[in-house]
Amino acid sequence: MCFNSSKCYILCMNRSKVKPAVNYFLDGQPLSLVDSHTYLGVTISSDLHWRNHTSNISAKASRILNFVRRNVYGCSAEAKATAYTTLVRPLLEFSSAASDPYLAKDIHQLECVQRRAARFVMNDYRRTISITSLLNQLEWSSLSVCRKNSRLVAFYKAVNNLSSVPVGQQHPCSHQTRSYNPLTFTPLTPRTDYHKYSFLPRTIVDLNSLPFSLRAKPSVDSFRAAPHCLYIISLSRTTTLQQ
Mean pLDDT throughout 70-87?
Answer: 93
> Average pLDDT of 141-148?
90
CA distances from 8 to 21, 40, 41, 43 (A): 17, 14, 16, 15
Distance CA 114, CA 93 (A): 11
Region 183-211: mean pLDDT is 85
Residue 169 is predicted with a pLDDT of 54
Average pLDDT, the chain: 82
For 7-88, where are the alpha helices, taking DSSP H only?
51-71, 77-83
Cα–Cα distance measured from residue 126 to residue 93, given in angstroms and rounded to the nearest whole number: 28
pLDDT in tens, 90-142: 999 998 888 889 899 999 999 999 999 999 999 999 988 899 999 999 989 88
224: nearest Cα among 234, 233, 214, 232? 214
Percentage of residues in the chain with pLDDT exceeding 70? 86
H-helix or E-strand spanning residue 38 = strand 36-39
Say how far apart CA 27 and CA 111 lie, in whole Å: 44
pLDDT at position 168 is 59
- One-letter identity of residue 201: P
Q: Which of 183, 212, 197 is nearest to 144 (CA)?
A: 197
Instruction: For residue 170, name the pLDDT band (cuts at 50, 70, 90).
Output: low
Rounded Cα–Cα distance for residues 108 and 127 (Å): 18
Q: Give the pLDDT of residue 238.
A: 40
- Judge whether residue 154 has pLDDT over 80: yes
Residue 147 corresponds to which amino acid?
R
Residue 235 is predicted with a pLDDT of: 40
Residues written for the chain: 243
The amino acid occupying position 120 is: F
Position 234 pLDDT exceeds 60: no
| pTM for the structure as a whole | 0.78
| Residue 234 CA: distances (Å) to CA of 146, 149, 151, 228, 240 | 15, 15, 20, 10, 10
Q: Which residues of 7-28 are buried (b: 16+ CB within 10 A; e: fewer)?
A: eeebeeeeeeeeeeeeeeeeee
Q: For 9, which DSSP code?
A: E
2-57 residue pLDDT tens: 787 788 888 888 777 777 777 888 888 888 888 888 888 888 888 888 889 999 99
